[in-house]
Amino acid sequence: MLGQDIINMFASLGDLGMLLAIVVIILIDGTAFPTLPEVWTVWIFGVHPGSIAWAATLIIVASFASLLGNFTLYGFVKLVGLPHWLKKKMNQYTNFLLVHDERLLILNRIAPIIPYTGAFIAACNWNVRKSAVYILISALMKFTIIVLISWASFESLKEDIAPWVSLGFVAIFLVASIIVSFIYKKRNIPRREPERSQS
C-alpha cells in the first residue's frame, strides 16, 4: 500500500521520518487521491503509544498537513483555473445542500460530502480565512479523536493487538461517515416539480 511505502521511505529518519511520512500521506490525500491518513495515523502513533508529547505532536502535524494539502490544491486551482461548466456544477452541488458555505468543511470531517475540498474553496469563492480556520479546527478535532481511541487501545491491550482494535474503530468511523454522507446527499437532492399540462 502507498501509505506503508511512504512510511518505509522515511523510517530511517526515526520520529522525524514518521512525522514527514504522515505529512506526505495527508498531502497526497488532500490533493490527488485518498490515502486513508486516519489508518496511518494509528500506526504512527503506535511508535510511542504512551507519550503525551508524541500524541500532541502527531495531532498538530497532521492537522497542519491537512490545512497545507487543502490549500495546495486551492492554490493550484486558482493558478490553473477550472472549466466554466465544472465550476458551475460544483456550485450547483453545494447549493443543493442544506449547508452550502464554508461550514461544509467542518461537516465534511464527519461525513465526506465533498471531495477535493481545496478545489471547492476556489470554485465556490469561499472566504479563505474562514475556510482555513474551519479546516484546522475540524482536523484538530478529528485527529485528536483518532489518537485518543488509539491511546485507549494501547493502554488496555497488548501492543501487538492494540493497533488492530484502533483500526477497527477508525474503520467503523469511516464507514459510518460514508453512510451519513450518502443519506445527507440523498435527502438534499432537489425533487423535480411535475410538469403541468397546458389546457
Q: What is the pLDDT of residues 14-61, one digit of tens each?
A: 999 999 999 999 999 999 988 888 888 988 998 898 899 999 999 999
Question: Per the domain annotation, does 198 fall within a domain?
Answer: no
Question: Per the domain annotation, does 90 fall within a domain?
Answer: yes
pLDDT digits (tens, 9 = 90+) for 180-195: 666 665 665 554 444 4
Residue with the three cell numbers 477535493: 116
Q: How many domains does the chain have?
A: 1
Question: Per the domain annotation, does 193 fall within a domain?
Answer: no
Q: How confident is the model at residue 111 (pLDDT cuts 50, 70, 90)?
A: confident
Q: What is the mean pLDDT of residues 97-112?
A: 82
Q: How confident is the model at residue 73 (pLDDT cuts 50, 70, 90)?
A: very high
Question: Per the domain annotation, does 192 fall within a domain?
Answer: no
> Regarding predicted confidence, which is higher, 50 or 173?
50
Segment 157-166 long-range contacts (CB within 8 Å, at least 24 positions apart): 159/46, 159/49, 162/46, 162/49, 163/42, 163/43, 163/46, 166/42, 166/45
Question: Per the domain annotation, does 7 fall within a domain?
Answer: yes
Residue with the three cell numbers 449547508: 99
Residues of the domain holding 173: 2-187
Question: Per the domain annotation, does 197 fall within a domain?
Answer: no
Question: Per the domain annotation, does 199 fall within a domain?
Answer: no
Considering the entire predicted model, what is its pTM?
0.78
Question: Per the domain annotation, does 148 fall within a domain?
Answer: yes
Worst-scoring range by mean pLDDT, 96-110, 114-128, 161-175?
161-175
Q: What burial letters (b/e) apply to 159-191, b meaning 16+ CB within 10 Å?
A: eeebbebbbebbeebeeebeeebeebeeeeeee
Mean pLDDT over all residues of the chain?
83
Q: How confident is the model at residue 166 (pLDDT cuts 50, 70, 90)?
A: low
pLDDT for the residue 5: 92
- For CA atoms 171, 173, 177, 183, the dihedral sign is positive
